[in-house]
Amino acid sequence: MKIGIIGAGHAGVAAAQKAIKYGAEVTLFSEEKFLPYYRPRIASVAFRQTGENDIFMHQEKWYFDNKIKLILATKVIRINTDENSLITEHGESYRFDKIIITTGAKPIIPSFANALIYQENISPLWTMQDALVIRKKIASAKNIAIVGGGIIGIESALRALDAGLDVTIIEKASRLMIRNLSPKASYTLTNILKEKGIKLIMNAAIEKIYEISNGIIIKTNSEEIYAKFVLLSIGSIPNTQIAGLPEANDGIEIDSRTRTYLPDFFAAGDAALFKSLHFFASALKANNQGKVAGFNAVRYDNFVEYKPFAVAVEVKFKEFELHTIGCAEEDNNKKEEVIESSATTYRSIIKKNDDILGIHMVGCGKDFITYKKQLKEEL
C-alpha dihedral sign at 352, 177, 38, 21: positive
pLDDT tens per residue, range 76-123: 999 999 899 999 999 999 999 999 999 999 999 888 887 777 667 899
pLDDT tens per residue, range 203-225: 999 999 988 888 899 999 989 99
Closest by CA position to 166, among listed 146, 183, 147, 182: 146
Asked whether the predicted pLDDT for residue 147 surpasses 80, the reply is yes
> What residue spans define the domains of the chain?
2-106+236-298, 111-232, 313-374
- Please report, to the nearest 10 degrees, the dihedral formed by the alpha carbons of residues 45, 50, 52, 57 taken in order: -110
pTM of the model: 0.93
Two domains, one topology: 2-106+236-298 and 111-232: yes
- Topology of domain 2-106+236-298 in CATH is FAD/NAD(P)-binding domain (3.50.50)
Asked whether the predicted pLDDT for residue 294 surpasses 70, the reply is yes
Predicted pLDDT at 115? 75
Query: Residue 134 and residue 127: Cα distance in Å, rounded?
Result: 11
Place 323 in a pLDDT band, splitting at 50, 70 and 90.
very high
Percent of the chain at pLDDT above 90? 80
Predicted pLDDT at 378? 54
Q: 63-77, 128-142, 237-251, 343-357 — which is least confidently predicted?
A: 237-251
Asked whether the predicted pLDDT for residue 255 surpasses 90, the reply is yes
CATH 3.90.1150.10 is right for the domain spanning 111-232:
no
Predicted pLDDT at 118? 67
Q: Name the average pLDDT for the chain.
A: 93
Between the alpha carbon of residue 98 and those of residues 5, 16, 89, 262, 361, the distances in Å are 9, 12, 20, 10, 43
Predicted pLDDT at 276? 75
Element of type H or E holding 201: strand 199-201
Asked whether the predicted pLDDT for residue 198 surpasses 50, the reply is yes
Place 170 in a pLDDT band, splitting at 50, 70 and 90.
very high
What's the average model confidence in pLDDT over 167-189? Answer: 95
pLDDT tens per residue, range 21-32: 999 999 999 999
Query: Residue 5 and residue 36: Cα distance in Å, rounded?
Result: 13
What's the average model confidence in pLDDT over 64-73? Answer: 97
